[in-house]
Structure 1
Amino acid sequence: MNASSQLSHPLRSQRLNQVTHEPHSKLDNLVKSHDPFGSPERFSHFVAAQYLFQRDLEKLYNDPELIKLVPDLPQRCRVEQARLDLADLNRALPEGDDSIRNTTMGTGEALAWLFVSEGSKLGAAFLLKRMPALGLSETFGARHLGEPEGGRAQGWKAFTAVLDSVELDAEQERLAEAAAIAAFERFTVHLERCFA
């Protein structure tokens, strides 16, 4: 066992948290710098980025092999909620590219992308508290931030239990870690584009 893996957490979900700490912090700071809660219009840029990211992952959320691992996976996708939010906010759907949708991923990589999307639901609870000031709610303009069925904490625990239990070899582990970082970087690109 090499030195770096001894420092790593035994749980994959915790290791992915560790390796994405820097891109996650950078993204958080970038979000704050764009002041998405300053007005409904500013928030619509944020929702557009969310829509593009959920669109990237739509195929993964509906992948039959992944559904065997996470049976409620299709219901977890928020692309439709983000689409409706953009309509509420009178913003046209942004054009997405298919580079992620058309990428063939192994199970570890796919779960790592989903890990980033699912993890964002935990933070969404705090964002939802800012919505009344904008005249928005989980039924208008901020549906994609809404409480998932069964609750946020329960949904996250169920997802990470699967993520932590899937057997991956060393190369698949490496690819999963790279995929989680790539997911944060992809959202960052969407955010920059939508606020440009």
Structure 2
Amino acid sequence: MEMVVDKKETSEELSFAKRLKFSTRTDHDGVDKMVMASKPFDNEANYAKFLTLQHVFHSTVSPLYQHADLQGLFPGLAELPRLSAVELDLKDLGMEPDVDPSSLEKVDDIYEAIGWLYCSEGSNIGAAFLYKETQKLNFDADRGARHLAAHADGRAPHWRKFVAQLDALCLTEEQEALAVKGAVNAFDFYKKALRTTGLSVN
């Protein structure tokens, strides 16, 4: 009988998208824990603070979706930003979608921007659980939770398409390192923004 050896992939053997995930897994898990600890779906007041957090993050990444060079790397990118959906969600709760420009991060390096886009688009996969939670507050894709709703093509197919675009990029080691740096910065920025919303993370 032939013995099957379970060989674990090293980070060098992974695809670019998987290397990004591998290199930022601790940062991603930290964001997940902070968000759930803040109990954003316990009541409408907490959810309003969560929307404010989402507005800050999507206001930061929105310009990247309009960047000509990034659109060249990711065809269809211009159709994906969720900032307008977040702003409509805020209005549903009677809130004015206003953001302090000084609270936003400016991402100038195109390769770091790839990491920010990875976080932004990846969040739409995890949003499936968040979207379900919003329904306890009577919000959905038509009111209050538009930005958490699935992409028209479906969450998984949309994510697979984006991953394929990531893996098709021919980046140098230095450029990949910048993408990882960008992703880590995106997660750190999100955690920093969360702390300023008034949501409790204890």
Matches within 5 A, 1:37-76: 37-76=41-80
1:35 match = 39
Rounded Cα–Cα distance in structure 2 between residues aligned with 1:71 and 1:98: 29
Q: For residues 41 and 182 of structure 1, do their structure 2 counterparts lie closer, same or farther at Cα, with a shift above 3 Å needed? A: same
Is structure 2 residue 14 aligned with structure 1 residue 10? yes
Mark the structure with the bigger radius of gyration.
2
> Please, which runs of 5 or more residues in structure 1 have no aligned partner?
none
2:118 match = 115
| RMSD after superposition | 1.8
Matches within 5 A, 1:155-166: 155-166=158-169
Amino acid at match of 2:102: D
Identity %: 32
Cα displacement (A) at 1:46: 1.1
TM-score by length of 1: 0.90
> Please, which runs of 5 or more residues in structure 2 have no aligned partner?
1-8
Q: Which of 64, 77, 82 matches 2:86?
A: 82
Q: For residues 9 and 42 of structure 1, do their structure 2 counterparts lie closer, same or farther at Cα, with a shift above 3 Å needed? A: farther
Cα displacement (A) at 1:127: 1.2
8 Å CA contact 1:53, 1:187 repeated in 2: yes
Amino acid at match of 1:91: M
Rounded Cα–Cα distance in structure 2 between residues aligned with 1:176 and 1:192: 25
2:102 match = 97
8 Å CA contact 1:34, 1:195 repeated in 2: no
Q: For residues 126 and 110 of structure 1, do their structure 2 counterparts lie closer, same or farther at Cα, with a shift above 3 Å needed? A: same
TM-score by length of 2: 0.87
Rounded Cα–Cα distance in structure 2 between residues aligned with 1:127 and 1:100: 24
Rounded Cα–Cα distance in structure 2 between residues aligned with 1:158 and 1:97: 34
2:136 match = 133
Cα displacement (A) at 1:164: 1.2
Of stretches 12-21 and 113-122 in structure 1, the one that deviates more from structure 2 is 12-21
